[in-house]
A and B are shown apart, each in its own frame.
Chain A
Amino acid sequence: MAARRDRVEGDEPTASMQGPVSAPASSEEEAGGASSGDLTPTTASATPPSGPLWTVVRTLNAWLVVLVVLVYTGAFWVSISDLPGDAANYPRAVIVLLLGFVTFGVVADLVKRARGTALEEVVEDDDLPPIPTGRFGFSAVWERWRKTILTGLITVVYLYVMPTLGYYETTAVYITVLFALLGLRRPLVLFPTVAATMVISWLLFAQILGVRTPSGPWIG
């Protein structure tokens, strides 16, 4: 089995140059190669980085859900450890089953990897951001996930400041920043769109639906 793994790792550069057909490892760069929701097919011109660090990164990436489940179930298990059986047995049973399915997946994944086939956690291409063409390394990873990560972070900040600054104030800033981040940058388009959104949301919430929006120091 070890010999096969060696062979596979030796094949890695060739595989990535030929495209995704026999890509053995988990990184998106290899797994998506030619068809990734991107409109134009791309071919990799550089060699994807390898080495222990990248193996760890790829493994963590492939097992993202597994990690989330482990952390969550671990914390859950500890927090209910003091409770009597009547209260805690049901969640404990669910945790044991959940860990069973997760372990099964990890083992199946390891077996597949040892055989040199693709990782278990392969995903529909449509759902993933397009892969930057011909570039590898952390800058390419950032380039790929930048918009999603920033959208998430900005939304968290939006939620965090709204109780203090109020709905209309924070929302105007929030949608301006997000519009710009996601590609609506021409001021003549951007600002009228923001203004229209604000007016429509005021009409919708305050006038039609009667939704109570958080008030801020200036408006509301």
Chain B
Amino acid sequence: MIPFDDILAGLDLLFQTEALLYLVGGLVAGFVVGVLPGFSGANAAALVLPFSIGLSTEVSLILMAGIYAGASFAGAIPAILMNVPGTAGAAATAVDGYPMARAGKAELAIGIARMASSLGGVLSIVVVLLIIGPLGDLALGFGAREMFVVALFGLTVIAAVVGDSFRKGMVSALLGLLIAAMSASPQTAQPRFTMGFLGLYDSVPFVPALIGLFAITQMFLLAPRKYLLDPRIAAEMSDNQGGMKRQLAELWEGILTTLRYPVIVLRSSTIGLLLGCIPGVGTAVANFISYGETKRRSKDPSRFGKGAHEGIIASEACDNAVTGGTMVPTMTLGIPGSGTAAVMLGALYLHGVQPGPRVLVTHGPEMYAVLLGLLVASILILPLGILLASPLAQIIKVKPSILTPIVLMLCVIGAFAIRSSWFDAGLAVAFGVLGYIMRIRGYPVVPLVLALILGPIAENNFMRAWLLSNGEPSYFFGSPTVLFMWSLFFITVAAQIYKQVKNKRSDQDTVLTGSDA
């Protein structure tokens, strides 16, 4: 059943001055962080999270939605102009975007990216609006064993797709599970390795952990750098901004060019939506799959990689469609679909809302307001993207020497301010150091973040299912739903092992040929 009442109530919540202002503010902030290489929507969302405590639940989530949509699109700008993807998702955009820019068609490429992002976002959210209610009803029927396998599956997928090593992803995810277990045991209430900190008794406070792992870690990485961007590249970016008239012409041409490929827009958005629904798949993988599929079906695949319009459309439409897709597991199961979605769950915790299958029932209008916010944000990408093109080119000139101290200060105060807790502030810094050590050694932090959420879900549901099973392991395989999920889980694991073995072989080949040469 599509809950039209909730959708209408959500519309009401969204079309308040405050909500719309924060949506636009978030979108602008998303543009800024999307353009900056190394920053992502998750960084910015984690930073504003503690300060959004004074806002209502839906407004703070709408703010995050704006950041999310803005960052998803804006990553394409540096990818096209200088082959440096501003976000992981934009890597596939660079494949054809950068050759177009080299050929003097940067404006058109950005125009196409803008339109494709907008369309992909709108299409995907419209579908999500229609299906999330029925899917939520389905999720309500999930028992402990189903939730346990879903959590397990989510973790495996995240470890598999984030970063380039499954092992490093798994180490990160398991470390997250262990940190999440530093709490009172859900069965016996005995504290486990809490070191006497009362703040750990419930479980690790999630928001300080987010601030540390996303924002503080990034600042430590930034501290020694002189520039955010190579100044030559930054100069090139500002040169690339024409006047308003040129911008409008480019907008129009971008729209027309994109509309000439309706099938590609539709297919790429569908791929993005479907893959976005799988927790953790993220845009980096989905975009390349969409790109590859479009290339494979093209009549003339040789044009790809040399500035084909279809390539940009395939990547960007998929990119923003993933954003909508990630909302499905986030809202129906309380399992975050991506880093930014994890921060959105953090916002729910902050406002005392327990994410999970019931959230669509208890907070339906708020959740639909967030989805509608994403829809409006996707539409606003077009006009705002043009208005902000020139200011954005200036912002990338900010030096880390100014940015780092201010952001670090905001992180410390933000972590403290949530509940006036020095423990939380210290925890954020500790997570910042941990995240830094992981990042400089090539371990992705996103699996750890998601494991902090999934850990308690996995443990509690496993224990409940174990009690229900009366010690009979077959209970864990006892329903069609759970069997289906187990098969998904084992397929993922098998695919990973296969991939690793294959990579090892090709590694060895290169080593051998390398030493021969």
Contacts and interface: CB of A to CB of B under 8 A. Distances in A.
Interface of A: 22, 37, 39, 62, 64-65, 68-69, 72-73, 75-76, 79-80, 83-84, 86-88, 90-91, 94-95, 97-98, 101-102, 104-105, 108, 115-117, 121-124, 126-130, 144-148, 151-152, 155-156, 158-159, 162-163, 167, 171, 174-175, 178-179, 182-184, 193, 197, 201, 205, 209-214
9 contacts: A68-B437, A91-B192, A94-B177, A95-B178, A101-B167, A146-B224, A148-B221, A159-B412, A182-B400
Given A65-B171, A105-B167, A182-B405, 13 more contacts: A83-B192, A98-B174, A98-B175, A121-B441, A121-B442, A126-B38, A130-B225, A148-B223, A158-B412, A159-B426, A162-B412, A171-B413, A214-B416
B412 A79 contact: no
Interface residues of B, number: 65
A76 B221 CA distance: 28
Nearest to B460: A90
Interface string B173-187: 011011001100101
A29 to B, nearest CB: 15
Contacts of B432: 152
Contacts of A108: 167
Contacts of A184: 399, 401-402
A97 B192 contact: no
Given A90-B459, A156-B429, A182-B400, A147 B224 contact: yes
Contact of A65 (B225, B426, B441): B441
A202 B438 CA distance: 34
B178 A76 contact: yes
A128 B440 contact: yes
A116 B508 CA distance: 12
Interface stretch (B62-70, B355-363, B380-388, B417-425): B417-425
A1 to B, nearest CB: 14
B219 interface: yes
B175 A155 contact: no
Contact of B220 (A144, A148, A163): A148
Contact of B511 (A115, A129, A146): A115
A86 B185 contact: yes
A213 B253 CA distance: 50
User: Secondary structure at chain A's binding surface: helix, strand, loop or mixed?
Assistant: helix
Contact of A209 (B51, B168, B188, B226): B51
Contacts of B174: 94, 97-98, 101
Contacts of B37: 126
Contacts of A144: 224
B514 interface: yes
Contacts of A212: 417, 420
B54 interface: yes
Interface of B: 37-38, 51, 54, 167-168, 170-171, 174-175, 177-178, 181-182, 185, 187-188, 190, 192-193, 195, 216, 219-221, 223-226, 230, 399-402, 404-406, 408-409, 412-413, 416-417, 420, 422, 425-426, 429, 432-434, 436-443, 459, 462-463, 511, 514-515
A114 to B, nearest CB: 12
B357 to A, nearest CB: 22
Contacts, number: 171
Nearest to A163: B422
Contacts of B459: 90
A144 B225 CA distance: 11
Given A101-B174, A211-B51, A64 B187 contact: no
B171 A101 contact: yes
A156 B439 CA distance: 20
A87 B185 contact: yes
A183 to B, nearest CB: 4
Given A124-B442, A197-B406, A151 B219 contact: yes
A65 to B, nearest CB: 5
Contacts of B438: 65
Among B37, B221, B406, B515, which residue has the most Cβ atoms of chain A within 10 A? B406
A108 to B, nearest CB: 8
B417 A211 contact: yes
Contact of A68 (B429, B434, B462, B463): B434
A73 B38 CA distance: 30
Contacts of B177: 94
A213 B412 contact: no
A180 B158 CA distance: 40
B190 A83 contact: yes
In the A-B complex, the 7 residue pairs with the smallest Cβ-Cβ separation, listed nearest first, are A87-B185, A178-B405, A129-B224, A182-B401, A98-B174, A183-B401, A147-B224
B409 A94 contact: no
Contacts of A88: 185, 192
Contacts of B182: 76
Contact of A183 (B175, B399, B422): B399
Nearest to B52: A209
A205 B511 contact: no
Given A65-B437, A87-B188, A94-B177, A79 B404 contact: no
A64 B437 contact: yes
Nearest to B433: A152
A73 B178 contact: yes
Contacts of B178: 72-73, 76, 91, 94-95, 98
A84 B192 CA distance: 11
B511 A123 contact: no
B193 A76 contact: yes
A115 B507 CA distance: 12
Contacts of A39: 230
A69 to B, nearest CB: 7
B417 A213 contact: yes
A205 B50 CA distance: 12
Given A129-B225, A159-B412, A152 B167 contact: no
Contacts of A72: 175, 178
A210 B182 CA distance: 32
A64 B443 CA distance: 11
B35 to A, nearest CB: 16
Given A127-B439, A128-B440, A178-B408, A80 B429 contact: no
